[in-house]
Amino acid sequence: MTKYVGILTAGGDSPGLNAAIRAVGRAAQGVHGMHVIGFRDGFRGLMQNRTMRLEGPTLSGILTRGGTIPGTSRDKPHRMAVGGQELDMTEVMVDTYNSHHLDALVCLGGGGTQRSAYRLAQKGLNIVTLPKTIDNDVAATDVCFGFDTALGVATSALDRLHSTAHSHHRIIVVEIMGHNAGWLALGAGIAGGADVIVIPEIAYDVSKIAEAILRRSRGGKHFSIVAVSEGAAPKDADEQDGADDACYEAGSSMSAELRRLTGGSTLRLARQLEERTGLESRVTILGHVQRGGAPSAGDRLLATRLGTACATLIDEGTYGVMVAARGEGTEPVPLAEVAGRRRTVPLDHSWIESARAVGTNLGD
């Protein structure tokens, strides 16, 4: 009996989404004889019943493309903006699913998407998810597609900033994405030779960072690269937040909007290091440039591996799971074990041990 499958992407865009869509679509159709449609703009498209065909011509040539061809959004099924109100549209999505006689819905996304997909699974829909995020923080999988590409972009940025830091004898503070997990900043910091790496899992002490930079200066190295995860916080975070306005006195060149967007923490850290070391500091916020562009070979391989495994699980009737990467293979993990959890960097992780061993300061 022919199965009918829907696919959507939700949350932030990420390299490898199109590669995963292509893998699910081609394997589902070519190997298992299924019919596949896509829903535009994430869960909002599912709610509004906006679809697109995901067949041969549509899936051709998208392996190397960044972004996501169906589009995406951050809408949540149970809290969706409709007509100026925030409404629970879960039942409407269930009706859309049933109107297309779907046998399964594939949701590609990060932690928020996993939670939303789990809600739909609890309503009786046959759900299979794939872990996507540059933050690499989805629980129960070895790695998420999108991470490898973003890691390369952030590392390349650190490589380029070394020459400016060295030429001008500056401290360059680089803010790297990651939300409340330090995988991206830690990995890029090690690969890019950062002198200091600050991640959410380790509360930092500004004085310890300043001391490390001054030691470098006394040793003849009059520049430093500080890689900061966007979710990092100082040990005295509450006091720092209260002193934020005082830190940025009237006349500061940093706009209030920019301070709001960055939480002020990275800019504040740069200013504190400048004051404590006497070295000029500059801030670079990589932002969404880390999300864009063609996926790396590693992400294309991972997305293809997870996508084809997804099609096999649907053919076998295995639902309510996320397709997790396990070594060189895959494993279906119940969504109940994924939703609401975050994968952060363990303090005994080999990356942390390696960073310390080569003399990288971790802010503590």
Whether 47 and 182 have beta carbons less than 8 Å apart is answered as no
Residue 239's pLDDT is 52
Residue 265's pLDDT is 86
Residue 1's pLDDT is 87
Residue 240's pLDDT is 54
Q: In what order do the strands lie in the sheet with 329-334?
A: 51-53, 35-39, 4-9, 104-109, 127-131, 321-326, 329-334
pTM here? 0.92
Stretches in the chain below the pLDDT threshold 70: 238-263
**Angle at CA 73, nearest 5°, toward 93 and 98?**
15
Of residues 41, 135, 148, 315, which has the active-site annotation?
135
Q: What does the pLDDT look like over 286-320, one tens digit per residue?
A: 999 999 999 999 999 999 999 999 999 999 999 99
The C-alpha torsion from 21 through 26 and 27 to 28, rounded to 10°, is 80
Specify whether 135 is catalytic: yes
Fold held by 150-291: Rossmann fold (3.40.50)
Residue 338's pLDDT is 98
Residue 241's pLDDT is 52
Whether 161 and 38 have beta carbons less than 8 Å apart is answered as no
User: Given this chain, do its domains 4-146+295-337 and 150-291 carry the same CATH topology?
Assistant: yes
Fold held by 4-146+295-337: Rossmann fold (3.40.50)
- For the chain, which residues make up each domain, given as ranges? 4-146+295-337, 150-291
Residue 146's pLDDT is 98
